Amino acid sequence: MRILMKVLCVGCLLFRAYFPIPCMGQIILVEKGEPRAVVVKADHPSDTALYAIEELVQHVERATGVLLDVVPESETPTDVHTHVYIGETETARHNGIDVDQLPREAYVMRSIGNDLFIVGRENDKNPLRQNNPDVGTLFGVYEFIERFLEVRWLWPGELGTYVPKLESVEFWTINEMNVPALAFRSLVWSRIRGFAAGNQKLSAEDERLGFSQEGAEGYAKALEALLRRHRMGGMDAKTPTGHAFSGWWKRYGEEHPEWFALRRDGTRGHPDKDYPNVPMCVSNEELQEFTLDQWDGESVLLLGPVDRPGRCICDNCRAWDGPQPENPPWFAERVYATDDRAKDLFAGVTSDRYARFWKTLQEKAAQRDPHAVVSASFIYENEFPAPTREIRLNKNIYGEFVQWQDPHLRWFPMPDEAFDWIQSQWLGWRKTGIRMGYRPNYLHDGYVMPHFETLQSGGFFKFAYDHGMEGARFDSLTGQWATQGLRLYMHLRLMNKPELNVETIRDEYFSAFGPASETIERYFDYWEDYAFKNRMQFIKLYWDVGWRYRIYVKKAHLAFPQECFRPAQELLDQAAEQTQNHSLSEYSERVRFIQIGLEHARLASALTQIYDGSETVSEDKQDEAMEALGELVKFRKEHEHKYFSDLLHVSNFWERPNMDLDFLMDRMSTQ
Ligand SMILES: [Zn+2]
């Protein structure tokens, strides 16, 4: 048993704002296994405060075995050492804590005498909603749990919550006010989101292959709690983004073809009147005026290009472009070269052109409202490289960085040169003076395989944070916690505490495996090395498909053949041995969790090997395929409640669109 003692104002080094330190006191929640505190709530507490109290009491109990009493403020007992006031209370107000003065998502954690106050703005909306800004009280409680109980939320559910055992929870004076370092923090949910509210039904086909209805709901709820514990949110403060001109061709193409991109054949727009992704002729002044007229004058003016590479080739637009390099970097050729998908349009880099377009519109909008904000939306596709000519933009223009285009740049790990290059593009855009967020797609990668890394993605995140990133939103959370969980945990931690270093975060994760922590580190290093060693091979394997993340499943057995699993299994066998006799069974259960992920990946790779890239399986292989699928599905059904994988995403997004498993399942059910 450890005794956790934090001496003096622990927050002073870490936090931005602090108050004069009130008289010294000692906060004691639990002392040598005995309760020394009560938790005090308002007589009419908000839902947020009640939820925060539930979280606090539950985690303290798991850490110490002590269940703290919760009392309403009017019944506060005087004969306890410490009162822990959670949320807006009369006593907090009386002591000068004015929540109305606090920024959104902020909390105050302050000791006064022997008492502790954790409080922020509250409302009665769902405290789990990521667009609810009045959750300071809850965020303060999470900070307390993370710092003073050293709890680590590794993956959804109880096993993924690592709560070190403590005899005592006590510390001296604390006084801080804190707001999240990043304005918005998000991993975009997959379709599982609807199941958190309990009002969505699984399709029979998805249910046959993966989650049961109950499993999907349990997972979604545990995931929602996990994301909040890591303080994902701030989405109401994010500048909106989007492909603003999608659908304009259909709406305005007939009347104003000149507003739309000139093509190589001399026509404007697109032969298909309904085609949604026709780029605009952004140098056209009438289009600019019209775009402005459409704007309500209040909300953010959205100017994101359509979601398709290729831009207008007219002389006016081309005159706005910077020079195109004669010898583009080898890892970025597709950024500059003619892309098949853009063959009728200009396929080079149009960053200078769009920077000028955004600036022109921002200046026009500012004539109506000097504070008008223009959203360039995505720094992506033809606009990904930083402008080459000197252009001065400003803080009223916002863009989100999305590395994509060339297959060398899409995924981590990428070639070292590519990694350096994307950093220069970030810096180049930053130099223009715009505000920037980060919105990459690489978490889509890897299917259920142990395909991940932490070195580059962690490094880039920290780089972006050091260079002005105001928030991050990742597409998408595929939920492969038992195979890619280290990387997911790192992302959750970095979004909440971008100043943490990657090594510290990794160590936190490994510590949850107790006596096997070093072996588990070697296990994850094995896969991280595997990803780095094979990075060029992975790029080649999926070279000609834009949708690597969607069709990854088709070549999973080539990326992860059966033989690559053996050394990893041996490491996990060792880890299992190291933990099997420990008095705390949670360590061996966590090793087992990682084993489940690995076994699941191996079974999935065995199945994709039979399909071998085809969507159907030939007659002579059907029995073999049925056996492999039967084994895989049985394994999932046995382990779904561990939450090792978002099995809905696995079946619905990856497997069923790429392999005709429904046919096999039908056949199996009739046998
Ligand atoms: Zn044009």
Distance of CA 459 from the midpoint of ligand 1 (Å): 38
For 252-296, what is each residue's pLDDT tens digit?
Answer: 999 999 999 999 999 999 999 999 999 999 999 999 999 999 999
**What number of CA atoms fall less than 13 Å from residue 332's CA on the CB side?**
25
pLDDT > 90: percent of the chain: 92
- Per-position DSSP letters for 387-410, written without gaps between them: PSS-----TTEEEEE---SSHHHH
CATH topology of domain 2-179: Chitobiase; domain 2 (3.30.379)
Strand order in the sheet with 184-187: 184-187, 469-474, 435-438, 397-401, 374-379, 301-302
- Burial of residue 246 (CB within 10 Å: 0-12, 13-18, 19+) is middle
Query: 347 C-alpha to center of ligand 1: Å?
Result: 13
Determine the Cα–Cα distance for residues 274 and 276; give it in Å rounded to an integer.
Answer: 6
Distance 261 CA to ligand 1 centre (A): 6
What is the rounded distance in angstroms from the CA atom of residue 469 to the CA atom of residue 82? 40
Q: How far apart are the CA of 356 and the centre of ligand 1, in A?
A: 13
Distance 288 CA to ligand 1 centre (A): 12
Distance 283 CA to ligand 1 centre (A): 6
CA of 543 to the centre of ligand 1 (A): 31
**H-helix or E-strand spanning residue 658:** helix 656-658
Nearest Cα neighbor of 269 from 250, 295, 288, 285 is 250
Task: Report CA(332)–ligand 1 centroid distance (Å).
Answer: 25
Tell me which residue of 323, 242, 247, 241 sits closest to 280, measured CA to CA: 247
Per-residue pLDDT of 487-506, as tens digits, reads 999 999 999 999 999 999 99
**Residue 231: strand, helix, or coil:** coil
pLDDT beyond 70 at 338:
no
Q: Distance from the CA of 328 to the center of ligand 1, in angstroms? A: 24
pLDDT beyond 80 at 339? no
- Residues 84-124 pLDDT 10s: 999 999 999 999 999 999 999 999 999 999 999 999 999 98
Q: What is the mean pLDDT of the chain?
A: 94
SS3 state at 671: coil
pLDDT in tens, 239-248: 999 999 999 9
Q: Tokens representing 645?
A: 């994988």
Tell me if residue 162 falls in helix, strand or coil: strand
C-alpha to C-alpha distance for 163 and 146, rounded to whole angstroms: 9
Residues 451/616, Cβ–Cβ less than 8 Å? no
Ligand 1 centre and the CA of 256: distance in Å?
A: 13
Distance 313 CA to ligand 1 centre (A): 6
Between the CA of 315 and the centroid of ligand 1 the distance, in Å, is 7
Count CB-CB contacts under 10 A for residue 200. 16
- What's the gap in Å between 425 CA and the centre of ligand 1? 25
Residue 227 CA from chain centroid, whole number: 9
**For residue 155, how far is its CA from the centre of ligand 1 (angstroms)?**
49
Say what percent of the chain tops pLDDT 70: 96
pLDDT at 341 over 90: no
> How much distance in Å is there from the Cα of 8 to the middle of ligand 1?
63
245 alpha carbon to ligand 1 midpoint, in Å? 15
Tally of CA atoms within 13 A in the half-sphere of 509 that contains its CB: 29
Instruction: Enter the pTM of the model.
Output: 0.95
Largest CA distance in the chain: 86
Task: Read off φ and ψ for residue 20, nearest 5 degrees.
Answer: -55, 140
